[in-house]
Amino acid sequence: MQFEYTPIPTKAVFAENAALKLKDEVEKLGCRRVMIACSAGMVKRIDHIIESLGPLCVALYNGAKPHCPEQVAMEALELYNKKNADCIVAIGGGSTIGIGKAIALRTDAKFIVIATTPCGSESTPIYGMLIGNQKKTGRDVRVIARTTIYDPMLTTGLNAHLTGTIGMNSLAHCVEALYAKDKNPVSDLYAIEGIVALTKGIKGSILNPNDLNARAQVLYGGMLSGYCVNLAGIAIHHKICHVLGGHHGIPHGESNSVILPYAIAYNETAAPFAMEKITTAMKTKSASGGVYDFARDINVPKSLKELGMREEHLDIAAKETVETTPFNPKPVDFQSVRALLQQAYEGIRPIPY
């Protein structure tokens, strides 16, 4: 056995009502001037958190939008600098966390996240921004949150659609980690544990939105999915989703929900040991078929056609995917990726390659 493993440089605080510990965590980092970033719809839900900071909170930016458009991130950065803040606290999911990452990358800000979705972005070195119609991504350890607070109480307002689609994004991170370039025995442990937690917790949360045990499982699985990205990286699945989000305006959770079974099928023969781990964790006979059936059980979008993708744009998406995918266990070529996208467009049961 031979591998390299770098521990994840982040602190996790996981408990019901843990969000009320934010002030303590800010002070532990030696910060005195906090800016909070969130979406407009989040403000009322976090009044008690803002109040708990007292005078430490010097600014609130509530303009977070999907895919973190460049204009939004730069507006937030301008406010952060204007208020002479020393800590950025992102409260929300991937779009809001993207703002925090943009600020952490460009300043000396201490970065804290209160995760309200299971996206896992808080503990990954990957950052992204929508520039024009392209989702530009990069990798830098400075964008990993110094501290992340996981409070299941803040996730009960997540409706069934968002619970399912964002959960599928996290599930995809765990799945891809099993055959990504830098996978190792430690990342495998996180991935398998994440798959079990997510598949169990997502179903339970949709069945009963106030089931805190199920919500905690989803949030825990999302946390592990972020660790998977950090340790192992990504492959063709997430590159396709970035292309669909940038050029074609498809939300990230929705694209993950549709693409994942087909990306797994694409790699099924090239990564047999990974597929065995997926089927064992999900208790299914087929990795791609099991994920396909799970997606239908939780009623997430089933096809790119349903998401408004135009069939004549599949060629463009396939070409860009080939150009932007640095690693995948099965070689990436236009014809194969185009066939994958056709299956996803139609929403048919995935056919392993």
In terms of Cβ atoms closer than 10 Å to its own Cβ (0-12, 13-18, 19+), residue 176 is: buried
Single-letter amino acid code for the residue at 258: V
Q: Which two tokens stand for residue 170?
A: 């996290």
pTM of the entire structure?
0.93
> Across-strand partners of 60?
36
Mind listing the domains of the chain with CATH numbers? 11-155 (3.40.50.1970), 160-346 (1.20.1090.10)
In terms of Cβ atoms closer than 10 Å to its own Cβ (0-12, 13-18, 19+), residue 313 is: middle
Q: Which long-range contacts (CB under 8 A, 24 or more apart) does 3-8 make?
A: 3/184, 3/185, 3/186, 4/182, 4/184, 5/184, 5/186, 5/231, 6/231, 8/123, 8/144, 8/227, 8/230, 8/231
Instruction: Report pLDDT digits (tens) over 143-155.
Output: 999 999 999 999 9
CA distances from residue 40 to 62, 63, 92, 232, 298 in whole angstroms, order as listed: 5, 6, 11, 34, 27
> Distance between alpha carbon 51 and the CA centroid of its chain, in Å?
28
The HSE-up count of residue 234 (CA atoms within 13 Å, CB side) is 27
**What is residue 352's predicted lDDT score, i.e. its pLDDT?**
81
**What is residue 123's predicted lDDT score, i.e. its pLDDT?**
92
Sign of the torsion formed by the C-alpha atoms of 244, 250, 251 and 257: negative
The answer to whether 255 and 307 are in contact (CB under 8 A) is: yes
List, for the chain, all residue ranges whose pLDDT scores fall below the cut of 50: none
Length of the chain: 353
Instruction: Report pLDDT digits (tens) over 15-39.
Output: 999 999 999 999 999 999 999 999 9
**What is residue 248's predicted lDDT score, i.e. its pLDDT?**
81
Kindly provide the residue ranges of all beta strands, DSSP E only, lying in 255-312, ordered along the sequence. Answer: none
